[in-house]
Amino acid sequence: MSRLWLVRHGPTGGKAMYGWTDIPADLSDSAALTRLSAALPAGLPVISSDLIRARATADAIAGHRPRLPDDPNLREIHFGDWEGAGFAEIWARSPRLAQRLWDAPGDTYPPGGESWNALRTRVGTGIDRLLRDNPGGLIVVAHFGSILTQVQRATGETAKQVFGRKLRHLSLTEISTGPAWTLARFNELP
């Protein structure tokens, strides 16, 4: 058994669907970054998705911990044609599909994008490989969807249940991994 420490990247200020869109995080709250870094175990490696908002957050909290190369498997869900669009625009453009995505997020996907289940498979495969290579545990800086796929894995919630959870920027989620995954803490701000 090992521990998976999941950190959501810093705030972006965006109010749109920014899955694979590479926008920066606002990392001006140095006190919050210092508290977050101090709450994480020393010596564990830090890895992030390859998107700048996660990468810069990981660099800011890594401290003296080993920094692993970025991993594209840890990216947020890909919103396809909806990338960069606001929620009102999406609802106006595709109300039935937007409602279906909310009501049944598992296999529903935006045009040219990926479904929740595809995201869960991509991130889960990446996390499994990373944990095999780092059996002592790992600190992962990622995104709303990426983190919630692993929460779903630990809790057994449905896609709709987990998709409805709130997850704050710079929050910490801890999962015990092994034969049975368990959620030790969720969405905590140190």
* CATH code of 20's domain: 3.40.50.1240
Residues 6+ apart with CB under 8 A from 70: 47, 48, 49, 50, 54, 55, 58
Q: Which two tokens stand for residue 50?
A: 């390859």
pLDDT of residue 45: 98
Domain count, the chain: 1
Average pLDDT of span 128-156: 97
pLDDT in tens, 84-114: 999 999 999 999 999 998 899 899 999 999 9
Q: Considering all CA atoms of the chain, what is the largest pairwise distance in Å, rounded to the nearest integer?
A: 49
- Please enumerate in sequence order all residues whose Cβ is within 8 A of that of 133, keeping only pairs 6 or more positions apart, or say none: none
Q: How far apart are the first and last CA of the chain?
A: 24
Can you tell me whether residue 176 is helix, strand or coil?
Answer: strand
Q: Which amino acid is at 145?
A: G
DSSP for 14-76?
Answer: --B--SS---------HHHHHHHHHHSPTT--EEE-SSHHHHHHHHHHHTTS-BPPP-GGGPP
Mean pLDDT of the chain: 95
Q: What is the token pair recorded at 69?
A: 């190369």
pLDDT for the residue numbered 15: 85
What percent of the chain lies above the pLDDT cut of 90? 91
Domain coverage including residue 11:
2-188
Identity of residue 16? A
Q: Can you tell me the distance from the alpha carbon of 21 to that of 27, in angstroms, rounded to the nearest whole number?
A: 18
- Rounded distance between C-alpha atoms, residue 92 and residue 160, angstroms: 22
